[in-house]
């Protein structure tokens, strides 16, 4: 009997992902890579230190442990003379993988990513508006001086 689940591989890190054959828009990246593209480290930071979210202590503790182990991996690679940005990418992927495996913590982080990306879009809109305003002012100035 053919299975409805197909093994595929993440096109970012190559790790195995499983997709359903009836999905019309199947994932092409794994959960960890999804977290990375969602700037999950920023989300963790906001969950830990900001007062933007009310984060339960047990979630914070798990996040701190994850960050601590990512720091260990990072420092270990630096000691092995791995270049900084490469060392960070290794640690970041490992952090994302560990986080993805922890369902409850993952949920908090995904929520924070969603809120932050909405926030970012608003910031971008505000930036665009002020740029438009500035452009208009420039036009106006040109008209006045020209
Ligand atoms: Zn991946």
Q: Please tell me the predicted confidence (pLDDT) of residue 51.
A: 79
Q: How far is the CA of 36 from the centre of ligand 1 (A)?
A: 9
Q: In angstroms, what is the span from residue 3 Cα to ligand 1's centroid?
A: 23
- Say if residues 20 and 4 touch (Cβ distance below 8 Å): yes
- In the chain, where does DSSP find H-type helix? 31-37, 40-49, 57-79, 84-101, 103-145
Confidence (pTM): 0.78
pLDDT band at 145 (very low <50, low <70, confident <90, very high): very low
- C-alpha of residue 31 to centroid of ligand 1, in Å: 7
Q: What is the pLDDT of residues 73-118, one digit of tens each?
A: 999 999 999 999 999 999 999 999 999 999 999 999 999 999 999 9
State both tokens at 62: 């798990």
User: And the tokens for 72?
Assistant: 């260990």
Q: Give the pLDDT confidence score for residue 143 in this predicted structure.
A: 47
pLDDT of residue 111: 94
**Confidence category of residue 133, pLDDT binned at 50, 70, 90:** confident
Exposed/middle/buried for 70, CB within 10 Å: 0-12, 13-18, 19+?
Answer: buried
pLDDT in tens, 14-32: 999 999 989 898 889 999 9
Long-range contacts of 45-48 (CB under 8 A, 24+ apart): 46/112, 46/116, 47/108, 47/109, 47/112
Q: Is the pLDDT of residue 127 over 60?
A: yes
Give the pLDDT of residue 120. Answer: 86
Structural domain boundaries in the chain: 31-118
Q: What is the pLDDT of residues 32-67, one digit of tens each?
A: 999 999 999 999 999 998 778 889 999 999 999 999
Tell whether the model's pLDDT for residue 141 goes beyond 60: no
Ligand 1 centroid from CA 22, angstroms: 21
Residue given tokens 């991996």 in the structure block:
73
User: According to the model, what pLDDT value does residue 2 have?
Assistant: 67
Pairing of strands 5-9, 16-20: antiparallel
Distance 60 CA to ligand 1 centre (A): 25
Handedness of CA 5, 111, 109, 127 (dihedral sign): positive
């Amino acid at each position: 009997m053919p299975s409805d689940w197909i093994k595929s591989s993440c096109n970012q890190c190559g790790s195995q992902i499983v997709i359903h054959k009836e999905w019309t828009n199947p994932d092409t990246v794994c959960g960890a890579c999804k977290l990375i593209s969602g700037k999950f480290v920023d989300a963790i930071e906001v969950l830990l230190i900001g007062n933007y979210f009310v984060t339960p202590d047990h979630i914070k503790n798990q996040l701190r442990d994850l960050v601590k182990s990512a720091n260990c991996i990072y420092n270990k690679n630096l000691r092995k003379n791995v270049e900084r940005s490469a060392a960070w990418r290794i640690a970041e992927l490992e952090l994302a993988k560990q986080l993805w495996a922890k369902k409850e913590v993952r949920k908090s982080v995904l929520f924070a990513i969603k809120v932050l990306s909405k926030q970012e879009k608003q910031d971008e809109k505000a930036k665009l508006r002020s740029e438009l305003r500035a452009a208009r002012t420039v036009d106006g100035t040109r008209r006045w001086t020209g």
